[in-house]
A = this chain, B = another copy of it.
Amino acid sequence: MEFFEVVAKRYSHKASFDYDKKIPEEDLRKIVEAGMAAPSAGNSQSPEFIIITDEKILERISIITQNAILWTAPAMIAVVTRPRVREVLDITTECLICDFAVATENMLLAATALGYCCGWMDGPFTDPQVREKVEELLGIPDDRMLILVVPIGYPLQEGPRREKKPFEQRASWNRYAVERG
């Protein structure tokens, strides 16, 4: 799909997926490879990925996070980073956050380019108790931290797209002159 068409099509899918329509492994791999191609500070390539298609594991994650939408996703990609994130902010931490954010964005766009819907789900994992249970389930070692999952699939119903502010309320030329909305 043409790049600017992908950018226009991508949205955060927060409605149900069609669980019965599975995703070929080669597509999931292609999505993760797009994530790996994202830039990272000092080329550290800090984000790591777990592609989840096992029904039992998908079910367990939905139960632990008590999330009805995750329950319907036929696949998820878990994004993992180093442990200092969410504990202290220094430039290194900021870099690690940027690293997993841009890798995730590439995957959201890649999933959209392949015709899927997807979302960025980090909310449940800001609760350390939820996060640690899923980390244990996925065998994530102590020196790594689960940040978010990207559920991917075909939509059962298409979700709403959120409105974006006009250009002039977010951008200006040569000098800060953003019209605050």
Contact = CB atoms under 8 A, between A and B. Distances in A.
Interface of A: 1-4, 6-8, 10, 12, 29-30, 32-34, 36-39, 43, 45, 47-54, 57, 80, 85-89, 91, 93-94, 97-98, 101-102, 104-106, 108-110, 113, 120, 126, 138-141, 144, 162-165, 167, 170-178
Contacts of A54: 174
Contacts of A144: 176
Q: Which 9 A-B pairs have the closest CB atoms?
A: A89-B89, A101-B101, A102-B105, A3-B113, A98-B101, A49-B171, A43-B162, A97-B97, A139-B176
Copies of the polypeptide in the assembly:
2
| Interface of chain A, main secondary structure | mixed
Contact of A171 (B2, B3, B4, B48): B48
Contact of A2 (B2, B86, B104): B2
Contacts of A80: 176
A178 B87 CA distance: 24
